[in-house]
Structure 1
Amino acid sequence: MEMVEEFNIKICWGNFTFDYVYSPSVGYSGGILCVWDPRLFLKVNSTISDYFVMIRGEWISNGKKMLIICIYAPQELSEKKLLWDYLIFVIDNWNGEVVIMGDFKEVRTPAERYGSIFNVQGANAFNSFISSTGLEEVPSGGCSFTWCHKSANKMSKLDPFLISEGLMSSCPNITATTLDRYLSDHRPILLRQSHDDYGPIPFRFFSHWFEMEGFDEFVERTWSEIQTTDPNNILKFMKKMKCIKEKIRAWIKTKKENSYIQKKNLKADLAEIDLLLDKGEGDSDILNKRIYVSKSLQDIEKMESMKVAQKAKIKWTIEGDENSKYYHGILNKKRSQLAVRGILVNDTWIDSPCLVRNEFLSHFKSRFDQPGVSRLHLNIEFHNKLTMDQKTDLECDITRDEIKRAVWVTCKHRTIFFFY
Structure 2
Amino acid sequence: MDVLLISIYAPQSVDCTRKLWDEISTLISSFSGECVVIGDFNEVRYESERFGSQFHHIPARIFNQFIEQNDLVDIPMGGPRYTWSNKWGSKFPKLYRFLVFEGIMLYFPNIMGLVMDKNIPDHRLIVLLEHRVDYGPSPFCIFHSWFEKDDFDDVVHNSWTSNVVGNLNDNPWVNFKKKLQFLKFNLRLWNSSARDRLISKRKTPQDKVEEIDASLMLDGGSVDLREQRVLAIKELFDLDHLSRVELAQKAKIQ
TM-score, normalization: structure 2? 0.51
Of residues 63, 81, 95, the one that matches 1:158 is 95
Task: Give the structure 2 partner of residue 66 of structure 1.
Answer: 3
Cα distance, 1:190 vs structure 2:
1.1
Partner of 2:122: 185
Q: Distance in 1 between matches of 2:31 and 2:121?
A: 35
Q: CA deviation at 1:182?
A: 3.0
For structure 2, the 5+ residue unaligned runs are 133-206, 211-254
Q: Write the distance in 1 (CA, Å) between the matches of 2:131 and 2:118.
A: 22
1:82 maps onto 2:16 in alignment: no
Which runs of at least 4 in structure 1 moved beyond 4 Å after TM superposition?
none
| Residue 49 of structure 2, aligned match among 112, 125, 136 | 112
Aligned equivalents of 1:131, 1:183: Cα separation in 2? 33
Per-residue deviation, 1:184: 2.9
CA distance in 2, matches of 1:137, 1:182: 24
Q: Matched residues, percent identical?
A: 40
Higher CA-based Rg: 1
Match of 2:151 in 1: none
Q: Is the 8 A contact 1:176 1:190 kept in 2?
A: yes
Alpha carbons 1:142, 1:178 under 8 Å: kept: yes
Q: CA deviation at 1:194?
A: 3.0
Do structure 1's residue 176 and structure 2's residue 113 form an aligned pair?
yes
The amino acid that maps onto 2:108 is C
Deviation sequence 1:220-275 (CA, Å, 0-9, x none): xxxxxxxxxxxxxxxxxxxxxxxxxxxxxxxxxxxxxxxxxxxxxxxxxxxxxxxx
Q: Within 1, Cα distance between the matches of 2:109 and 2:49?
A: 24
Count residues in correspondence.
Answer: 135
Q: Which amino acid aligns with 1:155?
A: F
Alpha-carbon distance, 1:180 to partner: 1.4
Structure 2 counterpart of 1:101, from 33, 38, 53: 38
Question: Per-residue CA shift, 1:280-314, capped at 9, x if unaligned?
Answer: xxxxxxxxxxxxxxxxxxxxxxxxxxxxxxxxxxx
| In structure 2, C-alpha distance between the alignment counterparts of 1:74 and 1:101, rounded to whole Å | 15
Higher helix share: 2
Alpha-carbon distance in 1 for matches of 2:64, 2:131: 27
1:274-353 alignment runs, 5 A limit: none
What one-letter code is carried by the residue in structure 2 that aligns with 1:193? Answer: E
Q: Indicate the residue corresponding to 2:233 in structure 1.
A: none
> Equivalent residue for 1:121?
58
Deviation at 1:132, TM superposition (A): 0.7
Give the whole-Å Cα distance in 2 for the aligned partners of 1:72 and 1:193: 24
CA distance in 2, matches of 1:171, 1:89: 25
Deviation at 1:171, TM superposition (A): 1.2
Distance of 2:109 and 2:58 partners within structure 1: 32
Contact 1:181/1:187 (8 A) holds in 2: yes
| TM-score (norm. length: structure 1) | 0.31
Q: Which amino acid is the alignment partner of residue 41 of structure 2?
A: F
CA deviation digits over 1:357-409, x for unaligned, max 9? xxxxxxxxxxxxxxxxxxxxxxxxxxxxxxxxxxxxxxxxxxxxxxxxxxxxx
**Bigger relative contact order, structure 1 or 2, given CA contacts below 8 A and separation 6+?**
2
Equivalent position of 1:133 in the other structure: 70
Equivalent position amino acid for 1:124 in 2: R
Instruction: Map 1:335-414; keep pairs closer than 5 Å.
Output: none
Q: Shift in Å at residue 68 of structure 1? A: 0.4
Q: Counterparts of 1:168 and 1:97 in 2: how far apart (Å)? A: 10
Cα pair 1:175 1:194 within 8 Å, conserved: no
